[in-house]
Structure 1
Amino acid sequence: MKISLLFRKLSVITLAFGLTVGAIPGVTSASGSSQFKLTNPPNSISLNTVHSNETFISPQIDTSTSDKIRVIVQLEGLPAAVGQYAAKMGMRSLASLSSESAVQDEQQEVLNEASDQGLNLQVNYTYNTVLNGFEVTIPANEISNLAEIPGVKSIQKNSTWYALPIESSSTGDNYEINPLKQIGADQAWAKDLTGAGLKIGVIDTGVDFNHPDIKDAYKGGYDSYYNDSDPSEEPPILPEDDEIGHGVGYEGTYHGTHVAGTIIGRAVNTESEIVQKGVAYDADLYAYKVLGREKEDPTRTSGSSAQIIDGIERAVKDGMDVINLSLGSDSVKDVNSPESVAINNAVLSGVVTVVANGNAGPGYFTMGSPAGAQLAIAVGAVTSESNHYSGQLQSTLEEAAPVATATDATYDFNLMGWETANANFLDIMGTDPLDVVYVGLGDNDDYTEKDVAGKVVLASRGTLAFVDKIAIAKKNGAKAIVIFNGGANGSEADLSESIVGKDDYINVSLGDSFSFIPTFDLKGTEGRALVRALIAYPDQTLKFTFPDDYAVSTIPGDYLASFSSWGPNADNNLSIKPDFTAPGENILSTYPKFDSPTYETSYERLSGTSMAAPHVAGLALLIKQLHPDWAPLDIRAALANTADVITDQDGDLYDVYQQGAGRVNVANAIITPALLESVEPITILDANYNPLDVINYNSSANFGVVAPNAGVQGKELQLKNTSNTEVTYTASIEWHQEHDGINATLDNSIISAAAGQTTSFNLNLEVANAEQDNMFEGQINLESPGLPALHLPFVIYVATEQPSNGFGIQEVQVTNSVVYPNRAS
């Protein structure tokens, strides 16, 4: 797969579910090829690594102005989470240097010095667990003086995070089972693994903790946005009641409630025909609200880096077993952003941290922060199995013989959308002729002086979103809406005989929603011909007769979602991210009540990697329940090793930067007696600038850039036996594409590990004359009769220098608490 990349660095940080973009200009893909070529785009900046003992001041900060700004100040000492990790590893000196009291003493010294210097500084948030520092308000022209205070290591902009939801997006069970079966959750439940006794922290927009499927699970949390103990979702505001936005109104928030339901939904709502059953439905829920209504643009939802870090900090202190961050940046790509540092330190403290990989796909290098945090679990999205409906309707234009051939006919249709839990279209539509009313483009004005109650409305595609056309038809009492393909000429529908690209079906599936009525998709040529006949004979009545049978076709799942962001990660190793994928398209889950008097219809479908991440957070809880002593990196490895490698519609493998290790399947993860991990040195620095090595037990092996004839490149792997009996596997190397010029070997083809022990072995790659500026990938396979097979993906980039990617300078060493890969090799 060959790529020419041209990226622009953007300043807005967006919620992971909220940004969908089309294909990036200049990015081309050949489905199934697991190889891509990176060429230097014009005016791009190469990836670099910068090290400095000087205090780092973000170049995004203008220090020439006296305007007050909010910044994140990081200090030299390690946060308490690193101390907790050091204590577990027996590093007593480091543990004492990074205790909470040591961190607080250092912070007070810095603040005292700032006061002595007369700096106009106001502390808004303080952190001592996952970050050592604080968020402050200070005149920008005093930042240079703040940077000179001993102990200050970095000063970075407090970024803004926005929530821009992907459009709502099909099954009819009491609760939706397909995604849960897809990831093996039902098989874990059969072994009594339900998340009981464990805590999940959802760091998001808050939660509707009165929702019947949520309230019994909800145990507490915090609102880091408004700094109070009530992490509720924010209700919608009508324009006439909107004082903050001067009459613009606000749609309210819902994202955290949707995420929470996927993880812990208790399936007990007696007010509704459907309920939400979460992956770990017996776990306890804690909500940390970090996003709320933005004051500068009151139509949007946002939060700051400070608020997100505060949410992470509080979740760690509250003893969460797993935290979920369905948020991120598709444009900011920095493995050492303050949020990423906080996440890495949360993992070091023992908290499994799951992050959405982003929605900027398709295209390489489209993932962003903080999914790039090296110790986190980054999750991409795949589709799930769904049902599609189709049939034939008959049309008749009464007493209009001259146009009978155009209107007295049978037309094929597809169902575009329908009401949740109400797919019995025969009962809804019947088989008697129904009056049809043409409503142009389906806007509000198109219904003026038209009686559509109990009738079918016929509308053209164009101007309005489909969901808006459906909502307006429903508001006016229509039984159903038929939308034909087409476009608009100003405020009127284009009724031309032929319109390029719009003569066939619309081919859009909205699935189901409580806000929908039956919505039919008609070919453009046929729908426009019907309307032309109606216009020619305005006194006649058009009738549709719907069938007594609707064909159902099952669309298979496990295809990569079009929006899911791809790797590599923005580090010098071109590391594999996402780690794996999970269901994330058209996911049904809990929704805040808002305007409804009951919770009867408080469910909605959403799409995004934000919907994939909570599936994995739930699985992590199930594994943690089975193996309470497993570290976060072991849980990541179990899910990756046993994931199902997936292919596209042509049967070709998605590459590792698209799917990671594959689509998770906990059914195998909970019965594997061993884990396959790569051993990656991670370097942190203590308060005295002494490097200390920590091991990142990774679920992939990343060789980074290797020049031809550079010699043998070795990666240490390990088989970790977590059972009480010896295990033996046959090891092999599987390449995902042609790899001429690269030789690969393993130390041994038979790998054994005694009970509770670990065996190390090496993957050795030697590049001779392989084509340069190309990425090659494969996987290590371990197989043993009667046991789940294990696999670990690897990548190597054959070149003499890092690829240009438009990220700008990355991996700036901004604080001693930054965790970054050892780049000595």
Structure 2
Amino acid sequence: MIIKLLVLLVLCFCNVSTADDNKKTYIVHMSKHQKPTTTFGEDVDHAHWFDASLKSVSKSAEMIYTYQNVIHGFSTKLTQEEAESLENLPGILAVLPELKYELHTTRTPEFLGLDQNTNLFPQSSGDSDVIIGILDTGVWPESKSFDDTGMGPIPSAWNGACETGTNFTTQSCNKKLIGARFFAKGYEATLGPIDESKESRSPRDDDGHGTHTSTTTGGSVVAGANLLGYAAGSARGMAPKARVAVYKVCWLGGCFSSDILAAMEKAITDNVNVLSLSLGGGTADYYRDSVAIGAFAAMEKGILVSCSAGNAGPTSYSLSNVSPWITTVGAGTLDRDFPASVSLGNGKNYSGVSLYRGPILPNQMLPFVYAGNASNSTSGALCMPGTLVPSLVKGKIVLCDRGVNARVQKGSVVKEAGGAGMVLTNTAANGEELVADAHLLPATTVGQKAGDEIRKYVISDANPTATIVFEGTKLGITPSPVVASFSSRGPNSITPEILKPDMLAPGVNILAGWTGAVGPTGLPDDSRRVGYNIISGTSMSCPHVSGLAALLKAAHPEWSPAVIKSALMTTAYTSYKDGKMIQDLATGNPSTPFDHGAGHVDPVSAVNPGLVYDISADDYFDFLCALNYTASQIQLVTKRNTTCDASKKYFVGNLNYPSFAVVVPSDSTVVKHTRTVTNVGPASSTYKVSTFSDNKSVQMSVVPETLTFSQVNEKKSYTVTFTMGRMAVNSNAFGRIEWSDGKHVVGSPVAVSW
């Protein structure tokens, strides 16, 4: 399966043809509090109640999964009429159609400062007791990153299992990879049986994505890791002593919500501490979003859930996984690059990037041709399969435009037609963002500006020539990080009053473990096999944060998921050492909180954040009340049979979030937000506030301006009054609120939207 790393694949209703086109999969949410009793007053077993309800509308229907933790209910296949009949029965909260999700698809520890600050994190067995659960395409257990040498016994709290299946045995797991499960019933109910000639019906990863994400979170230290000689050095996950448990939910046809819920259900009972999901789709109300619903249940059990923001940037409102109880992670770059420059016959040179390793081009200029002039198709410039005319490209370097098909596939098309090499140019959709690929022939990718100049040359010159020079691995690239163009952006389309993404982490050209089933490009004709691969996407940034959360959980076992997220957010940085704001690669301008959230993670600071913002399940309940959700909608998310207090005034902006998103109402120019901070620093400390706004139309006043603490875990509240001038609709302003005691800086981004 070719990983679509830079395309946000849209959440969709799965109207896929099945054996019975009149039926599709539904997830049935039931009210636990309405479960009937027997004549003896005993509760009916939930499975019997589920089955009886189902059989009352369809004698032939079978339950695919039953759920008790993430939701109370089951999944099944029904006709639309049967689904409507079921929804009208007593105790049924909702019957929702199956949703399909798709994947959002070294030097990182050094870049984050972990290599020089390991003493800040616990060296006892505590860090090895933390368990990270990864929902993805499975795992390649033979990866050196799962070496368990020196690891102690599996934590006693672990309730999981190492499931067997195609090419996977109980011996595939060890003291590092302590669990592996697979979930395919929902997938097979829609698309039919797994084709075991193409993928393993087991936890084994035949794709690579799952092995990459799981080794990023908690991979062991491996000396000499590299991809084809690039990025050579020691590879390690963010939490190399943590345990890893893998839940395979993604297959060739995608990731189905019934399987995702079943995996989250198991992960909760297995006792994981962190859940990492590098998948998603479009946006839906929280009570219709299976990942959001499952994450709420996990949060109540003390499990932090980290999700990728999506790869639909730089478009606004392009985020997925935006619920406030999920940690939503965008992607930034590292200070490492893989330059491969283009030299033209006119003497000009243009920089690009590539991970090609193989026979290089002759030490001379070669004929150069634009694919659009060497094709039998109107879309020939894109180097789509079967579009290039071999007689026009043989022995030449071919210029291809980026778009539609995979970057590496374009090179395969050029190679198949007899081309000697490829220059791939970005178009306006990708701008100057450069993502390196392990091409099958000598090839490099250049930005839009360079591409436009190269295209002018190759089209206008009577005898265009070119060559490509590969320069290996370069470190110390500045500026870094920058926000990746593909990283999805805010505002939050479901709840604008909650700022998303939450933070940035490395997500461009990331080296991590890989499957032995496919080559680094994932193409069928790529026969190369590598232990490590370099790929990009918010799929890669999410597991960085999952691993960092595991480190913080080990250092502070008592911290809640909200406190861990707060520590990562309030210590994140938004500017370089020279004081300039982190750059947005899509525009070349300073990024905003809609691009970078609270900023780029700084784990060394996060371990000692000074003050934190905690949020309880009750606080999230109030948040849902503030959204004016009905009692049934709230119960879908929380499983609570509790109604909102009619005498209480709820306000979305008062959720104790570590950031501020202010939506200016049409009838007022003054908005107040209240927050409560908890002292996790020195017992005696005094913090003073400072504010900043990039727009004179926004004034912020904080009361009180000083917070004095006398003990650890003491709480203090403050109120921010935002006074806004009149601005055009859809205008935005940004700012920052910081509390400091002289040692700690507790920062919160501010975004104001008219």
TM-score surpassing 0.5? yes
Equivalent residues in 2 for 1:554-593, closer than 5 Å? 554-572=477-495, 574-593=497-516
Q: Using the TM superposition, give the Cα deviation of residue 375 of structure 1 relative to its aligned residue in structure 2, in angstroms.
A: 0.7
Cα distance in 1, alignment partners of residues 613 and 60 from structure 2: 53
Among 194, 213, 236, the residue aligned to 1:277: 236
Residues 226-267 of structure 1: CA distance to partner in whole angstroms, max 9, x if unpaired? 599xxxxx9999xxx7799xxxxxx95222112112112224
Q: Which residue of 1 aligns with 2:408?
A: 467
**TM, length-normalised to structure 2:** 0.72
Contact 2:388 2:414 in 1 (8 A): no
Cα distance in 1, alignment partners of residues 241 and 29 from structure 2: 38
Q: How many aligned residue pairs are there?
A: 639
Q: Does residue 781 of structure 1 match 2:738?
A: yes
Cα distance in 2, alignment partners of residues 392 and 701 from structure 1: 45
Find the residue that maps to 1:219 and give its secondary structure: strand
Among 605, 618, 634, the residue aligned to 2:563: 634
Distance 1:508 1:78, change over 3 A: same
Among 105, 109, 117, the residue aligned to 2:49: 109
Q: Which residue of 2 aligns with 1:209?
A: 141
Q: Which residue of 2 aligns with 1:122?
A: 62
Find the residue that maps to 1:576 and give its secondary structure: coil
Q: Using the TM superposition, give the Cα deviation of residue 620 of structure 1 relative to its aligned residue in structure 2, in angstroms.
A: 0.3
The amino acid across from 2:24 in the alignment is I
Q: Which residue of 1 aligns with 2:78?
A: 138
Contact 2:490 2:501 in 1 (8 A): yes
Cα distance in 1, alignment partners of residues 52 and 506 from structure 2: 51
Cα distance in 2, alignment partners of residues 508 and 18 from structure 1: 11
Q: Does residue 189 of structure 1 match 2:139?
A: no
Residues 723-757 of structure 1: CA distance to partner in whole angstroms, max 9, x if unpaired? 452221111222232225xx532222211222223
Cα distance in 1, alignment partners of residues 736 and 470 from structure 2: 51
**TM, length-normalised to structure 1:** 0.66
Distance 1:446 1:113, change over 3 A: closer
Cα distance in 1, alignment partners of residues 694 and 735 from structure 2: 5
Q: Does residue 372 of structure 1 match 2:297?
A: no
Among 235, 247, 270, the residue aligned to 1:288: 247
Among 61, 68, 77, the residue aligned to 2:23: 68
Residues 619-649 of structure 1: CA distance to partner in whole angstroms, max 9, x if unpaired? 1011111101100000000000000114326
Equivalent residues in 2 for 1:378-777, closer than 5 Å? 378-387=328-337, 389=339, 410-419=347-356, 433-434=363-364, 436=366, 441=371, 457-461=396-400, 467-468=408-409, 470-471=411-412, 481=421, 483=423, 509-511=434-436, 513=438, 515=440, 517=442, 519=444, 523-524=454-455, 526-527=457-458, 532-533=462-463, 554-572=477-495, 574-595=497-518, 601-645=530-574, 646-648=581-583, 653-676=590-613, 682-683=621-622, 688-691=641-644, 697-709=656-668, 713-723=671-681, 725-739=683-697, 743-765=699-721, 767=723, 769-771=725-727, 773=729, 774-777=731-734
Contact 2:370 2:459 in 1 (8 A): no
Among 104, 108, 131, the residue aligned to 1:199: 131
Cα distance in 2, alignment partners of residues 433 and 658 from structure 1: 43
Cα distance in 1, alignment partners of residues 21 and 472 from structure 2: 72
Is 205-214 or 612-621 further displaced after alignment? 205-214
Residues 516-556 of structure 1: CA distance to partner in whole angstroms, max 9, x if unpaired? 546497934555677x449xxxxxxx997979999999342
Contact 1:619 1:666 in 2 (8 A): yes
Cα distance in 2, alignment partners of residues 155 and 793 from structure 1: 39
Q: Which residue of 1 aligns with 2:314?
A: 362
Cα distance in 2, alignment partners of residues 17 and 548 from structure 1: 24
Distance 1:410 1:769, change over 3 A: closer
Contact 1:706 1:796 in 2 (8 A): no
Among 255, 262, 275, the residue aligned to 1:310: 262
Distance 1:115 1:676, change over 3 A: closer
Q: Using the TM superposition, give the Cα deviation of residue 113 of structure 1 relative to its aligned residue in structure 2, in angstroms.
A: 4.5
Q: Which residue of 1 aligns with 2:169?
A: none
Equivalent residues in 2 for 1:333-352, closer than 5 Å? 334=286, 336-352=288-304
Find the residue that maps to 1:770 and give its secondary structure: coil
Q: Using the TM superposition, give the Cα deviation of residue 18 of structure 1 relative to its aligned residue in structure 2, in angstroms.
A: 5.7
The amino acid across from 1:632 in the alignment is P
Find the residue that maps to 1:73 and give its secondary structure: strand
Unpaired segments ≥5 residues, structure 1: 1-13, 23-57, 80-96, 167-175, 229-233, 245-250, 294-300, 395-406, 423-427, 487-500, 535-541, 799-825
Cα distance in 2, alignment partners of residues 348 and 551 from structure 1: 45
Among 167, 171, 184, the residue aligned to 1:225: 184
Contact 1:202 1:288 in 2 (8 A): yes
Contact 2:671 2:722 in 1 (8 A): yes
**Equivalent pairs: percent with the same residue?**
20
Among 204, 212, 218, the residue aligned to 1:258: 212
Q: Using the TM superposition, give the Cα deviation of residue 110 of structure 1 relative to its aligned residue in structure 2, in angstroms.
A: 4.5
Cα distance in 2, alignment partners of residues 285 and 21 from structure 1: 27
The amino acid across from 1:181 in the alignment is E
The amino acid across from 2:512 in the alignment is S
Find the residue that maps to 1:511 and give its secondary structure: coil
Q: Which residue of 2 aligns with 1:53?
A: none
Contact 2:3 2:209 in 1 (8 A): no
The amino acid across from 2:237 in the alignment is G
Cα distance in 1, alignment partners of residues 678 and 563 from structure 2: 9
Q: Using the TM superposition, give the Cα deviation of residue 348 of structure 1 relative to its aligned residue in structure 2, in angstroms.
A: 1.2
Cα distance in 1, alignment partners of residues 642 and 683 from structure 2: 43
Q: Does residue 156 of structure 1 match 2:144?
A: no
The amino acid across from 2:555 in the alignment is L
Cα distance in 2, alignment partners of residues 701 and 150 from structure 1: 41
Cα distance in 2, alignment partners of residues 555 and 471 from structure 1: 32
Q: Which residue of 2 aligns with 1:19?
A: 7
Distance 1:188 1:74, change over 3 A: farther
Cα distance in 2, alignment partners of residues 185 and 549 from structure 1: 25
Unpaired segments ≥5 residues, structure 2: 149-175, 188-192, 372-382, 520-525, 575-580, 623-633
Distance 1:186 1:708, change over 3 A: farther
Larger Rg: 1
Cα distance in 2, alignment partners of residues 355 and 215 from structure 1: 26
Is 281-290 or 765-774 further displaced after alignment? 765-774
Cα distance in 1, alignment partners of residues 14 and 27 from structure 2: 14
